């Protein structure tokens, strides 16, 4: 195969008079697909070669053009020749009717060039006819470009073009085509090839859509995993804000909280091992004091965060959803926690029992008072917004805003109550009992969070309740396995 330089100099083996037309035609071939053929470094493409490739395949040219190479004319390329070109090329010559034959391959009608481009992935032309395959195997490969040798692609194009021409000739029944003289076998083969091409296009499209669908599902799954991981208290980069509608103050608190949770996990592990190691009380005291300081830290963090986003804290948005079910003014209800502890902390001396009961009672009274105060705040807030007709809306809003600001005070008092109770426990209980207390609380919270993740990922489990009222579920077994390393319940 001779080398032909592509470009404005045209083809060297054609007559000078036809340079312009080659140029025009080459430019007409600047559709994305065809650019693969043309704009390759060091490779060349000549229409002359195409012409040579076409002719031996016995493409039926129009009767009056059969003897002349269609391209080498001064006028614009003949309709038959254009019919041989892939649709995106012929479009350049505003040859619209011919491209409709591509519709038999299942493509859309009007935006032919784009649809043809879309359906034929660039860098690939499927070898669709036995002829081109046979020929390409014996093709001379000394000018490869893309994945296939030039000649092979030319042959494939040629077969495309020839089959196109056949279908155009057959289906449009143009006078210039000699449709009546077509041997049936050949025509049928061409039609079959068209159908085959169309089928493959449809399959490719289907595969692409399926790929998109599975990607979408994967994305949803990833988001869910992310949410779950986040709810388990692991720091997930700065993506808290990515969940939308979260202030920077809230996002920062969430980050600090997840770090605090990691610390909590470490503290509790240490507490558990030291407790089981039967350390002296003084040593254990140090660890217990350390754990109380650890809780003091989260209260400080909450206090600071409340200045920027009290609603985030008070509504419990920083917790896992299941924990949020039990939220009382932004966190756990202390009296409920104390109730739980009493059952887990046997044996207690009578003095201790009294101390714990008093603590629970005082906590309940304090909680009731704060709840009533908060209720009054909510009613007052409702009144200030509900009243109408409003003459001075901005004033009304300003009043409502200043009332809303009082939430910070209530959150502060509620957290203060929780902190005071945690500090009171070691005054009533022994060091060992206090350590067990913290482990009970820690284990309980961890199970709450685990419940939340399980719910998020699996929903309610398939529960089989047998006669002895035992629930068997594989999900629960999974949780127990997961929790075995964080097993705080036995001590």
Partner 1 sequence: MGMGMGSDPMERLVKLASESAVVIFSVSSCCMCHAVKRLFCGMGVNPAVYELDQDPRGKELERALMRLLGNSQAVPVVFIGGKLIGSMDRVMASHINGTLVPLLKEAGALWL
Minimum Å gap between C-beta 470 and partner 1 is 41
366 lies in the site for partner 1, by CB under 8 A = yes
410 lies in the site for partner 1, by CB under 8 A = yes
Minimum Å gap between C-beta 421 and partner 1 is 6
CA distances (Å), origin 63, targets 67, 78, 481: 8, 12, 82
Using the minimum distance from each CB to partner 1, give the nearer residue, 421 or 448: 421
486 lies in the site for partner 1, by CB under 8 A = no
Restricted to residues 46-65, the positions that interact with partner 1 (CB under 8 A) are none
Q: Which of 176, 315, 416, 473 binds partner 1 (CB under 8 A)?
A: 416
Nearest to 25 by CA among 65, 81, 67, 63: 81
373 lies in the site for partner 1, by CB under 8 A = yes
**Cα–Cα distance measured from residue 204 to residue 303, given in angstroms and rounded to the nearest whole number:** 58
Minimum Å gap between C-beta 350 and partner 1 is 16
Restricted to residues 333-362, the positions that interact with partner 1 (CB under 8 A) are 358-359, 362
Helices (H), 315-430: 321-325, 334-344, 350-386, 393-404, 407-428
Minimum Å gap between C-beta 325 and partner 1 is 24
Using the minimum distance from each CB to partner 1, give the nearer residue, 172 or 412: 412
Q: Which of 239, 242, 357, 369 binds partner 1 (CB under 8 A)?
A: 369
380 lies in the site for partner 1, by CB under 8 A = yes
Number of residues that bind partner 1 (CB under 8 A): 27
Minimum Å gap between C-beta 359 and partner 1 is 7
At residue 210, what are phi and psi to the nearest 5 degrees? -65, -40
387 lies in the site for partner 1, by CB under 8 A = no
Residues ≥6 apart with Cβ < 8 Å to 412? 303, 306
Q: Which of 91, 155, 411, 421 binds partner 1 (CB under 8 A)?
A: 421
Q: Which of 39, 412, 447, 458 binds partner 1 (CB under 8 A)?
A: 412
150 lies in the site for partner 1, by CB under 8 A = no
The pair of structure tokens assigned to 253 is 């608190």
Under 8 Å between Cβ of 194 and 169: no
Residues ≥6 apart with Cβ < 8 Å to 390? 396
Q: Which of 226, 279, 292, 377 binds partner 1 (CB under 8 A)?
A: 377
Phi-psi region of 7 (alpha: psi -120 to 50; beta: other; left: phi over 0): left
Using the minimum distance from each CB to partner 1, give the nearer residue, 96 or 380: 380
**Cα–Cα distance measured from residue 338 to residue 420, given in angstroms and rounded to the nearest whole number:** 13
Minimum Å gap between C-beta 211 and partner 1 is 58
**Cα–Cα distance measured from residue 22 to residue 442, given in angstroms and rounded to the nearest whole number:** 82
Nearest to 191 by CA among 158, 206, 169: 169
Q: Which of 365, 472, 474, 489 binds partner 1 (CB under 8 A)?
A: 365
Using the minimum distance from each CB to partner 1, give the nearer residue, 111 or 365: 365
**Cα–Cα distance measured from residue 111 to residue 100, given in angstroms and rounded to the nearest whole number:** 11
376 lies in the site for partner 1, by CB under 8 A = yes
Q: Write the burial class of residue 470 (CB in 10 Å: 0-12 exposed, 13-18 middle, 19+ buried).
A: exposed
413 lies in the site for partner 1, by CB under 8 A = yes
Using the minimum distance from each CB to partner 1, give the nearer residue, 95 or 363: 363
Nearest to 155 by CA among 299, 59, 256, 16: 59
Torsion sign over Cα 305, 307, 310, 314 = positive
Minimum Å gap between C-beta 328 and partner 1 is 14
Q: Which residue ranges make up the site for partner 1 (CB under 8 A)?
A: 358-359, 362-363, 365-366, 368-370, 372-374, 376-377, 380, 406, 409-410, 412-413, 416-417, 420-421, 423-424, 427
């Amino acid at each position: 195969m001779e080398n032909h330089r592509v470009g404005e100099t045209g083809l060297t083996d054609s007559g000078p008079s036809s340079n312009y037309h080659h140029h025009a035609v080459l430019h007409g071939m600047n559709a994305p697909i065809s650019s693969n053929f043309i704009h390759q470094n060091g490779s060349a493409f000549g229409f002359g070669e195409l012409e040579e490739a076409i002719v031996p395949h016995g493409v039926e040219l129009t009767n009056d053009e059969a003897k002349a190479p269609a391209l080498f004319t001064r006028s614009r390329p003949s309709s038959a020749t254009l019919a041989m070109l892939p649709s995106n090329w012929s479009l350049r010559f505003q040859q619209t009717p011919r491209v409709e034959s591509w519709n038999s391959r299942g493509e859309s009608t009007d935006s032919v060039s784009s649809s043809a481009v879309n359906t034929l992935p660039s860098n690939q032309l499927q070898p669709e006819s036995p002829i081109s395959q046979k020929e390409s195997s014996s093709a001379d490969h000394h000018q490869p470009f893309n994945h296939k040798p030039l000649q092979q692609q030319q042959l494939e194009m040629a077969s495309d073009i020839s089959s196109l021409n056949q279908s155009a000739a057959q289906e449009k029944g143009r006078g210039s085509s000699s449709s009546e003289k077509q041997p049936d076998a050949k025509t049928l083969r061409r039609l079959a090839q068209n159908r085959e091409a169309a089928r493959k296009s449809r399959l490719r499209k289907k595969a692409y859509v399926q790929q998109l669908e599975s990607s979408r599902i994967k994305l949803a799954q990833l988001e869910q995993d992310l949410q779950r991981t986040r709810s388990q208290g692991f720091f997930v980069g700065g993506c808290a804000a990515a969940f939308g509608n979260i202030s920077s103050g809230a996002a920062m608190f969430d980050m600090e909280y997840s770090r605090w949770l990691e610390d909590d996990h470490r503290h509790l592990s240490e507490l558990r091992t030291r407790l089981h190691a039967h350390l002296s009380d003084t040593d254990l005291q140090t660890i217990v004091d350390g754990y109380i300081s650890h809780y003091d830290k989260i209260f400080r963090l909450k206090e600071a965060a409340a200045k920027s986003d009290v609603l985030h804290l008070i509504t419990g948005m920083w917790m896992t959803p299941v924990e949020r079910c039990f939220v009382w003014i932004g966190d756990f209800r202390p009296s409920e926690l104390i109730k739980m502890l009493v059952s887990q902390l046997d044996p207690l001396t009578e003095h201790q029992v009294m101390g714990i009961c008093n603590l629970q009672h005082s906590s309940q009274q304090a909680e009731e008072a704060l709840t009533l105060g908060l209720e009054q705040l909510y009613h007052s807030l409702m009144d200030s917004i509900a009243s109408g007709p409003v003459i001075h809306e901005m004033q009304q809003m300003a009043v409502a805003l200043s009332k809303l600001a009082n939430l910070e005070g209530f959150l502060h008092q509620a957290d203060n109550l929780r902190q005071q109770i945690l500090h009171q426990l070691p005054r009533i209980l022994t060091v060992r009992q206090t350590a067990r207390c913290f482990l009970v609380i820690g284990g309980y919270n961890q199970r709450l969070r685990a419940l939340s993740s399980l719910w998020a990922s699996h929903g309610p489990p398939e529960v089989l309740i047998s006669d002895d009222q035992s629930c068997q579920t594989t999900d629960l077994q999974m949780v127990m396995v997961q929790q075995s390393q964080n097993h705080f319940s036995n001590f």
